[in-house]
Amino acid sequence: QVAGVALRAALQDAAQAAAGEGEDRGPPTPIAVGRLANSGPQDIIIAVPMNELKDDTRGVQAVDEQSAAGRTLAVAREMLGDQVKLEAGPAPGEEMMCIRIPGAELQALLVKQVQEAVSQFAGGGEPRGI
Protein backbone atom coordinates (compact mmCIF):
# COMPACT_ATOMS: atom_id res chain seq x y z
CA GLN A 1 0.00 0.00 0.00
CA VAL A 2 2.81 2.40 0.85
CA ALA A 3 4.49 1.76 -2.51
CA GLY A 4 1.21 2.44 -4.30
CA VAL A 5 0.76 5.73 -2.44
CA ALA A 6 4.34 6.73 -3.25
CA LEU A 7 3.89 5.93 -6.94
CA ARG A 8 0.59 7.83 -7.09
CA ALA A 9 2.30 10.86 -5.52
CA ALA A 10 5.24 10.65 -7.93
CA LEU A 11 2.93 10.34 -10.96
CA GLN A 12 0.81 13.26 -9.80
CA ASP A 13 3.89 15.39 -9.15
CA ALA A 14 5.32 14.54 -12.58
CA ALA A 15 2.05 15.44 -14.31
CA GLN A 16 1.76 18.73 -12.43
CA ALA A 17 5.38 19.63 -13.14
CA ALA A 18 4.84 18.97 -16.85
CA ALA A 19 1.74 21.20 -16.75
CA GLY A 20 3.73 23.99 -15.09
CA GLU A 21 1.73 23.75 -11.87
CA GLY A 22 4.75 22.83 -9.74
CA GLU A 23 5.79 26.45 -9.24
CA ASP A 24 2.48 27.26 -7.53
CA ARG A 25 2.76 24.37 -5.08
CA GLY A 26 6.03 25.29 -3.47
CA PRO A 27 8.93 22.87 -3.11
CA PRO A 28 8.56 19.41 -4.68
CA THR A 29 7.43 16.46 -2.61
CA PRO A 30 10.23 14.31 -1.15
CA ILE A 31 9.32 11.51 -3.57
CA ALA A 32 10.04 13.65 -6.62
CA VAL A 33 13.07 15.58 -5.35
CA GLY A 34 15.34 13.63 -7.69
CA ARG A 35 13.71 14.85 -10.88
CA LEU A 36 15.31 17.54 -12.99
CA ALA A 37 13.90 21.06 -12.84
CA ASN A 38 11.15 21.73 -15.39
CA SER A 39 12.59 19.84 -18.35
CA GLY A 40 9.32 18.03 -19.04
CA PRO A 41 8.11 14.74 -17.68
CA GLN A 42 10.91 12.63 -16.23
CA ASP A 43 11.12 8.87 -16.01
CA ILE A 44 10.06 7.22 -12.77
CA ILE A 45 12.31 4.37 -11.59
CA ILE A 46 11.04 1.59 -9.33
CA ALA A 47 13.77 -0.51 -7.70
CA VAL A 48 12.75 -4.14 -7.32
CA PRO A 49 14.73 -6.64 -5.23
CA MET A 50 15.81 -9.58 -7.39
CA ASN A 51 14.11 -11.95 -4.94
CA GLU A 52 10.74 -10.47 -6.00
CA LEU A 53 11.27 -11.76 -9.53
CA LYS A 54 10.02 -15.16 -10.60
CA ASP A 55 12.50 -15.21 -13.50
CA ASP A 56 15.12 -12.46 -13.86
CA THR A 57 15.29 -12.85 -17.65
CA ARG A 58 11.72 -11.65 -18.28
CA GLY A 59 11.87 -8.26 -16.54
CA VAL A 60 8.51 -6.68 -15.70
CA GLN A 61 6.53 -9.79 -16.63
CA ALA A 62 8.43 -11.80 -14.04
CA VAL A 63 7.58 -9.65 -11.00
CA ASP A 64 5.63 -11.56 -8.36
CA GLU A 65 2.15 -9.97 -8.33
CA GLN A 66 1.85 -10.42 -4.54
CA SER A 67 5.11 -8.58 -3.79
CA ALA A 68 5.42 -4.86 -3.05
CA ALA A 69 6.89 -4.35 -6.52
CA GLY A 70 3.99 -6.24 -8.10
CA ARG A 71 1.44 -4.12 -6.28
CA THR A 72 3.31 -0.96 -7.28
CA LEU A 73 3.24 -2.03 -10.92
CA ALA A 74 -0.49 -2.72 -10.58
CA VAL A 75 -0.95 0.90 -9.45
CA ALA A 76 1.07 2.12 -12.45
CA ARG A 77 -1.13 0.11 -14.81
CA GLU A 78 -4.28 1.28 -13.03
CA MET A 79 -3.29 4.94 -13.39
CA LEU A 80 -1.69 4.81 -16.83
CA GLY A 81 -3.66 1.98 -18.44
CA ASP A 82 -2.90 -1.66 -19.18
CA GLN A 83 -0.96 -0.75 -22.32
CA VAL A 84 1.57 1.41 -20.42
CA LYS A 85 5.12 0.79 -21.59
CA LEU A 86 7.21 -0.38 -18.65
CA GLU A 87 10.88 -1.16 -19.15
CA ALA A 88 13.12 -3.25 -16.91
CA GLY A 89 16.82 -3.86 -16.51
CA PRO A 90 19.36 -4.73 -13.83
CA ALA A 91 20.67 -1.96 -11.59
CA PRO A 92 24.44 -1.66 -11.97
CA GLY A 93 26.33 -3.35 -9.16
CA GLU A 94 23.21 -4.11 -7.16
CA GLU A 95 21.00 -7.06 -6.43
CA MET A 96 18.13 -5.00 -7.76
CA MET A 97 16.11 -4.74 -10.94
CA CYS A 98 15.04 -1.26 -12.09
CA ILE A 99 11.62 -0.84 -13.65
CA ARG A 100 11.26 2.40 -15.59
CA ILE A 101 8.08 4.27 -16.49
CA PRO A 102 9.20 6.47 -19.42
CA GLY A 103 8.47 10.20 -19.31
CA ALA A 104 6.45 9.83 -22.53
CA GLU A 105 4.01 7.59 -20.67
CA LEU A 106 3.69 10.28 -18.00
CA GLN A 107 3.01 12.84 -20.74
CA ALA A 108 0.16 10.59 -21.92
CA LEU A 109 -1.24 10.67 -18.36
CA LEU A 110 -1.15 14.47 -18.43
CA VAL A 111 -2.99 14.58 -21.77
CA LYS A 112 -5.63 12.20 -20.39
CA GLN A 113 -6.09 14.36 -17.27
CA VAL A 114 -6.47 17.50 -19.40
CA GLN A 115 -9.02 15.79 -21.65
CA GLU A 116 -11.02 14.65 -18.62
CA ALA A 117 -10.95 18.17 -17.15
CA VAL A 118 -12.10 19.71 -20.45
CA SER A 119 -14.86 17.12 -20.69
CA GLN A 120 -16.07 17.84 -17.16
CA PHE A 121 -15.95 21.59 -17.77
CA ALA A 122 -17.90 21.20 -21.03
CA GLY A 123 -20.72 19.35 -19.30
CA GLY A 124 -19.73 15.73 -18.98
CA GLY A 125 -19.60 12.90 -21.46
CA GLU A 126 -16.55 11.22 -22.91
CA PRO A 127 -13.26 13.08 -22.99
CA ARG A 128 -12.74 14.87 -26.29
CA GLY A 129 -9.45 15.31 -28.07
CA ILE A 130 -7.84 18.72 -27.86
- Would you kindly state where each structural domain of the chain is located, as residue ranges? 2-121
Between CA 59 and CA 67 the distance in angstroms is 14
pLDDT of residue 72: 78
| pTM greater than 0.75 (yes/no) | no
Query: How would DSSP label each residue in 22-63?
Result: HHHH-SPPGGGTTSPTTSSPPPEEEEEEGGGBS-TTSGGGGB
Query: Which backbone phi and psi does 87 adopt, to 5 degrees?
Result: -115, 150
pLDDT in tens, 91-127: 776 678 787 888 877 787 778 777 887 888 777 555 5
